[in-house]
Chain A
Amino acid sequence: MNAMSPPELEAQQNHTRLLWVLAAMAAMALPQALHVAPWVMLAALLISLWRLAVEFQGWPLFGGPTRIAFGLLAFVGVFATYHTFNGVEAGSSLLILLAVLKLMEARGLRDYFFVLAITLVIGIANFLYDQTIPLAIYMIPAVWLAIAALLNIAHPDVTRSVMTSIRVATRLLLPALPVAVALFLLFPRMPGPLWGLSTADQTGITGLSPKMSPDSISRLARSDAIAFRVQFDGQPPTRSQLYWRAMVLHHFDGSTWTRGIEPIDNNETLTTSGEPFRYRITLEPNDLHVLYALDLPVQVPANTLLSSDYELTTPHRVRERKLYSVTSYTDYSYGAGLSPTMRRLELQLPRNVDPRARQLAQQWAGSAGSPAQVVQDALRMFHSQPFHYTLHPDALSGPDGIDIFLFDTRSGFCEHYASAFVFLMRAAGIPAHVVIGYQGGLRNPLDGYYVIRQEDAHAWAEVWLANRGWVRVDPTAAVDPARVDDGLSAALPANEVPGYVFDTHPWLADLRNTWDAVNNGWNQWVLAYGPELQQRLFSHLGLDYSNWLELALVLLVVIGGVLALVWLLMWWRERKPPASSVVRDYLRYCHKLTQAGLPRRPSEGPLNYAKRVIRKRPDLSEHVKKITTLYIDLRYGESGNPEELSRLVRDFRPQHS
């Protein structure tokens, strides 16, 4: 035991604290380097190095005014970079900068502890960018290190090795794991955000946008990012039925299709036939108000709305992975009664563009007997004339793009075919619109989930035919049926198949399937664990929570349970007071003597007992004396080696000597 710390000891302790907190900070903030502005990480690194130079080279600490100036600079810099203090990047940047600046004035336990607390918050911010398995694996040792740092900040000890610190941290973390899992499962989850998320949080999402211009879908086709996963309850539909409806685009301005004015049609009629398909979708964030569903969704989840275009809409933008169940019919007919307003909307075309296409359409309309005939004429044209399906069409952004595509270049991606087809139909007087979404999807044989990637993004058309309502027409299929039957890579010319397509190498495909299945399990069971899954778990457990009172009760039970567990542990520990090794050894020695016929009397102290034993058995004299003396030294004195006592007692054989 040493006396109260003099100033040098305090300095030494702060030295230990600094090194640990810097190590924890480096580990926790490293993943942030992928997300925050580079200058933030650079500034943090330089200030940390300066702080180390203060410690080891005697450089001066920043004075008060310098610190304040740096603090203000941090705020100004972050605001200049992000134009907000809200949002994960801006918030993390500020925390990182303020943490290193705080190190410049850290004086003792409390300051270092504060910096470590900020470090842990920076750690949790890592998960706000992504929650992938690699990051989770990375964070395990990082948290471990941070806890070891916490130990060394609270109780700095120069004689404690790094391994000892890690061992203590392990002993604390392992029992915390079951508590964490219990709280994770049982802590009531609430749907939706508590406060508005800043738009800065959502950058770099690749996916559909609510409009279609000549390169919007082909751009997506170069990405193999996963759009959503589907698990069918029963028999899945055939591949050519896998049209995943996202949005319907009504308005054309000459180059871009948009949703236009949302049509409201109260004369909605829907007839379905055949078997329904029930399935669950795990949607990756798309930053839209739209959920995807198999064409055509009929039963939809709570809190969503089915528009008259059968778009599945949700009040909040989808900004985190979302799990929902839908029932669809692939054999359907809807919108048989088209109101005059709707009809006008569905025939809208910009004036004075694409005269050649208009002329062609009117010519078909004049010669054909019915609108259905016009549809056939158009599809026949795509099929029989030399149209090409390509990922790299010529630029068509100028005016009269449809004319150029139909009569000059004749090569394009699905958006070109859908756009041109709807244009032709409308010009021929047939109500039509563009539908965008996804087509296809690959079944992962490992877990049975269908994986739909951005490369499966697709655009097709719906035309309105009297007595039949809206009918899906996919002009791309007329050009290249392989697109629908076998997927994009089969449909594209060999030299255009993107490098990411793994299907060319079977073992690579296996690898990707495995990785997908692992990721999917992670998504389904860990990341998607929210109000819905919790409700399912609770109903399995026979609990029902539907109001705040019951939520509060559950919370109380959880916390009470945790405390009871702690209490139980304490009680258990108290119940079995462990004897010290010295006492155990001595009792073992007494036991050996008892077996030799010399039990210790209750009133007898060790010395008197030894005397009596020696009187009866002089042959044991030396051994008994040694053990008794050593035991008394160990127990009541301050000297002696407990292992020596163990050895003596082990070698003590009163019966055989």
Chain B
Amino acid sequence: MTAILSNALAFIRQRAQTWARNRQGPDGETVILDRRRVYILPTRQGLMYGSMLMVMLLCSMNYSNSMGFLLTFLLTGLGFVAMYACHANLTGLEIGAGRTAAVFMGETARFSLFLTNAGRKQRTAISLSAEAGDSLVTGDVSAGEHGKVAVPLAADKRGWLKLERLVVETSYPLGLCRAWAWVYMNLQVLVYPKPAESAPPLPQASEGRSGGKSVHSGDEDFSGLREYRAGDSPRHIAWKTSARAQKLLTKQYSGSSLEHRWLDWDALAGMQTEQRLSILCRWVLQAHAENLVYGLRLPGTRIEIANGEAHRDRCLSALALFENSATSL
């Protein structure tokens, strides 16, 4: 019985969402929630409140009790006002898309959004969630405020993770009804493969200028010290300084070393695609952490040797979208 009911509810919800989607059309970079797209329905508490009002009304009628009527009607009016306030809490809110940082598979993507309250009143307890609605961010936007929020969404697949539908909702002030709006912005974030927990050591450095281009400006320019990380070459450890500091410190060089490495798909023959990508991802991170110069070779893709954050991101994007490019922008 409950299964039938929940199925029916799910069906109705599905139909309502389709209807709203067709009615609203896609949204741009910024959206102002106008009255036409803010929906409102009573919550479970609202239904309870309604039953309470019925009990009060029957009680007042039975005893012909004037003050009872007055209190009942005051609470009825309050219900209407709360409904209006709940709706007004949402209408007119401006939502803009922000820049969202890429994540690794298995992490939670945080879609960055801007909320602008051009109104004169504070908007309280506005919740945003991805479609699933399970994890919410809730907060207030005061009058004239321009605030930033991050809507979490689990990244469980590599490639582009889309936020198909953003739910903006509120049940403020009395929780008797819930006003919500569906926003269909084209929000997406790149999900890199999950870095392998254990990976083979980085491929050996190849000397020479196979890339043909110098990627560094000076030779071994010592730039500073940082704490030792697993995988740092023992040659780069500053032994004397480490002895004084009571911990291992690694020397860092600007301009990097002469050596460069190719992170090669073919070096991992005999493994599953995802596992290979996962290991390559770990290598990229490791190479970047060690400030190495490296290139990436994938079937059909070749990223020339370089270093730096932009280079790392290019490599990770290539891994994320490997055999998956159909879904890119």
Residues of A within 8 A of B (CB): 1-4, 109-110, 113-114, 117, 120-121, 123-125, 127-128, 131, 135-136, 139, 143, 147, 150-151, 153-155, 168, 171-173, 175-181, 183-184, 187, 189-195, 197, 320, 526-530, 562-563, 566, 569-570, 573-574, 577-583, 634-638, 642
Residues of B near A147 (CB, < 8 A) are 78, 174
**Which residues on the B side are within 8 Å of A566 (C-beta)?**
80, 83-84
Which of B113-121, B284-292, B310-318 sits within the interface? Answer: B113-121
> Do A320 and B174 touch (CB < 8 A)?
no
| CB-based contact A194/B61 at 8 Å | yes
Q: Which of B48, B67, B84 contacts A117 (CB 8 A)?
A: B48
Please, could you name 5 A-B residue pairs with CB atoms under 8 Å apart, sorted by A? A113-B175, A114-B48, A124-B65, A194-B61, A570-B84
Interface centre among A114, A180, A192 (most CB of B within 10 A): A180
With A173-B74, A566-B84, A569-B84: A110-B146 Cβ-Cβ less than 8 Å: no
Q: Do A1 and B138 contact each other (CB < 8 Å), given the known contacts A128-B68, A179-B81, A193-B64? A: yes
Whether B77 lies near A183 (C-beta < 8 A) is yes
B231 at the interface (CB under 8 A from A): no
Is B203 positioned at the interface, with any CB of A under 8 Å from its CB? no
Contact of B70 among A113, A184, A195, A579 (CB under 8 A): A184
Residue B327 at the A interface, CB < 8 A?
no
A320: chain B residues within 8 A (beta carbon): 63-65
Residue of B nearest to A131 (CB): B67
Verify A154–B171 contact, CB threshold 8 A. Answer: yes
B62 in the interface, Cβ–Cβ < 8 Å? yes
Docked pose: A172 CA to B172 CA in angstroms: 12
| B147 and A143 form a contact (CB under 8 A) | no
Closest 7 pairs (CB-CB, A-B): A154-B175, A1-B139, A179-B77, A176-B77, A183-B73, A180-B74, A127-B67
What residue in chain A is nearest B76 (Cβ atoms)? A183
Which chain B positions have C-beta within 8 A of A151? Answer: 173-174
User: Which residues from chain A contact B138 at a C-beta distance below 8 Å?
Assistant: 1-2, 4
**Contact, CB under 8 Å: A128 / B76:** no
Known: A110-B44, A578-B120. 9 other contacts (CB 8 A): A114-B48, A180-B74, A181-B73, A184-B73, A189-B61, A529-B66, A563-B80, A573-B92, A574-B92
- Could you say which of A131, A143, A193 contacts B62, with CB atoms under 8 Å apart? A193
Contact residue among B48, B58, B68, B118 (Cβ-Cβ distance under 8 Å from A194): B58
User: Which residues of chain B come closer than 8 Å to A110, judged between CB atoms?
Assistant: 44-45
Q: How far is the CB of A636 from chain B (nearest CB, A)?
A: 8
- From B45, B48, B60, B78, give the contact of A176 (CB < 8 A): B78
B residues within 8 A CB of A190? 61
> Which B residues are CB-close (under 8 A) to A171?
85
- The smallest beta-carbon distance between B87 and chain A, in angstroms, is 7
Within 8 A of A (CB), among B136-161: 136-140, 143-144, 146-150, 152
Stretch at the interface among B5-13, B49-57, B186-194, B265-273: B49-57
Given known A109-B175, A582-B144, A635-B146, contact A128–B71 (CB-CB < 8 A): no
- The answer to whether the Cβ of B247 comes within 8 Å of any Cβ in the partner chain is no
Q: Which of B35, B55, B64 gathers most chain A CB within 10 Å?
A: B64
Would A194 and B62 count as touching, CB distance under 8 A? yes
Q: How far is the CA of A178 from the CA of B76 in the complex (A)?
A: 11
B250 at the interface (CB under 8 A from A): no
A172–B175 touching, CB < 8 Å: no
Interface mask (B175-189 → A, CB under 8 Å = 1, otherwise 0): 110000000000000
Kindly supply a per-residue 1/0 record for chain B positions 76-120, scoring 1 wherever the CB is within 8 Å of any chain A CB and 0 otherwise.
111011111101100110000000000000000000000011111
Give A353 Cβ to nearest chain B Cβ, in Å. Answer: 45
Q: Is the CB of A187 within 8 A of B73?
A: yes
Given contacts A2-B137, A120-B52, A574-B91, contact A177 B74 (CB under 8 A): yes
Q: A606 to B67: give the CA distance in the assembly, Å.
A: 60
Task: Give the residue among B59, B77, B136 with the most A Cβ atoms within 10 A.
Answer: B77
Give the residue among B75, B76, B116, B152 with the most A Cβ atoms within 10 A.
Answer: B75
A124 CA / B75 CA spacing, docked (Å): 11
> B319 to nearest A CB, angstroms?
29
In the complex, what's the smallest C-beta–C-beta distance from A12 to chain B, in angstroms? 14
Nearest Cβ distance between residue A635 and chain B, in whole angstroms?
7
What's the minimum C-beta distance from A177 to chain B, rounded to whole angstroms?
Answer: 7
**Known contacts A175-B81, A320-B64: A570-B70 contact under CB 8 Å:** no
Complex CA distance for A139 and B68, rounded to whole angstroms: 11
Whether A172 contacts B73 by the Cβ 8 Å rule is: no
Provide the bound-state CA to CA distance between A562 and B119, in Å: 25
B135 at the interface (CB under 8 A from A): yes
Give CA–CA (A151, B84) in the complex, Å: 15
A-contact 0/1 string along B15-58, CB 8 Å cutoff = 00000000000000000001100000000110011001001101
Residues of chain B lying within 8 A (CB to CB) of residue A187: 69, 73
How far, in whole Å, are A136 and B137 apart by their CA atoms in the complex? Answer: 42
In the complex with contacts A127-B71, A131-B66, A566-B83, A172-B173 CB distance below 8 A: yes
A179 CB, min distance to chain B CBs, angstroms: 3
Q: Does B257 touch A at the CB level, under 8 Å?
A: no
Q: How far is the CB of B210 from chain A (nearest CB, A)?
A: 45
A125 — nearest CB in chain B belongs to which residue? B59
Complex alpha-carbon distance, A110 and B125, angstroms: 18
Chain A contacts for B92, CB-based, 8 A: 573-574, 577
Q: Is the CB of B174 within 8 A of A172?
A: yes
Q: Answer whether residue B307 sits at the interface, using C-beta atoms and an 8 A cutoff.
A: no
Instruction: Check B118–A577 contact: CB distance below 8 A.
Output: yes
Contact among B45, B63, B70 for A197, CB-based, below 8 A:
B63
CB distance from A632 to the nearest CB of B (A): 11
B175/A124 in contact, CB under 8 A: no
Smallest Cβ distance from B146 to chain A, in angstroms?
Answer: 7
Pair B35/A570 contact, Cβ less than 8 Å: yes
Asked if B72 CB lies within 8 Å of chain A CBs, one says yes
Residue of A nearest to B120 (CB): A578
B124 within 8 A of A: yes
What's the Cα separation between A636 and B136 when bound, in Å? Answer: 25
Point out the residues of chain A lying under 8 angstroms from B52, CB to CB: 117, 120-121
The CA-CA distance from A120 to B53 in the complex, in Å, is 9
The docked-state distance in angstroms from the alpha carbon of A431 to that of B42 is 72
A193 x B87 contact (CB < 8 A): no
Known contacts A127-B71, A154-B171, A172-B78: A573-B63 contact under CB 8 Å: no
A526 and B66 contact, CB distance less than 8 A: yes
Q: How far is the CA of A197 from the CA of B176 in the complex (A)?
A: 33
Chain B residues in 8 Å Cβ range of A189: 61, 64, 69
B82 A172 Cβ-Cβ under 8 A: yes
Q: Could you tell me the distance between the alpha carbons of A2 and B140 in the complex, rounded to whole angstroms?
A: 9
Report the separation of the CA atoms of residues A645 and B76 in the bound assembly, to the nearest whole angstrom.
Answer: 43
Complex Cα distance, B62 from A530, in Å, reads 12
Question: Nearest B residue to A526 by beta-carbon distance?
Answer: B66
Q: How many Å from the CB of A280 to the closest CB on chain B?
A: 18
Min CB–CB distance A373 → chain B (angstroms)? 52
Q: Quick one: which of B35, B56, B117, B171 contacts A121, CB cutoff 8 A?
A: B56
**A180 in contact with B81 given A127-B68, A172-B173, A578-B118 (CB within 8 Å):** no
User: Is the Cβ of A113 less than 8 Å from the Cβ of B45?
Assistant: yes
Least distance between B311 CB and chain A CB atoms (Å): 29
Q: Are A4 and B137 in contact (CB under 8 A)?
A: yes
The distance in angstroms between the C-alpha atoms of A582 and B118, with both chains bound, is 9
Which residues of chain A come closer than 8 Å to B150, judged between CB atoms? 1
Residues of A within 8 A of B63 (CB): 128, 193, 197, 320
Q: Chain B contacts of A191 at CB under 8 A? A: 64
- B85: A residues at CB distance < 8 A: 171-172
Query: In the complex the two chains form, is A113's CB within 8 Å of B71's CB?
Result: no
Q: What residues of A have a CB within 8 angstroms of the CB of B44 in the complex? A: 110
Residue of A nearest to B65 (CB): A127
Determine the distance from Cα of A492 to Cα of B70 in the docked complex, in whole angstroms.
44
> Complex: how many Å from CA A311 to CA B224?
111
Q: How far is the CA of A106 from the CA of B152 in the complex (A)?
A: 30
Give chain A nearest CB distance to B6 CB in angstroms.
Answer: 18
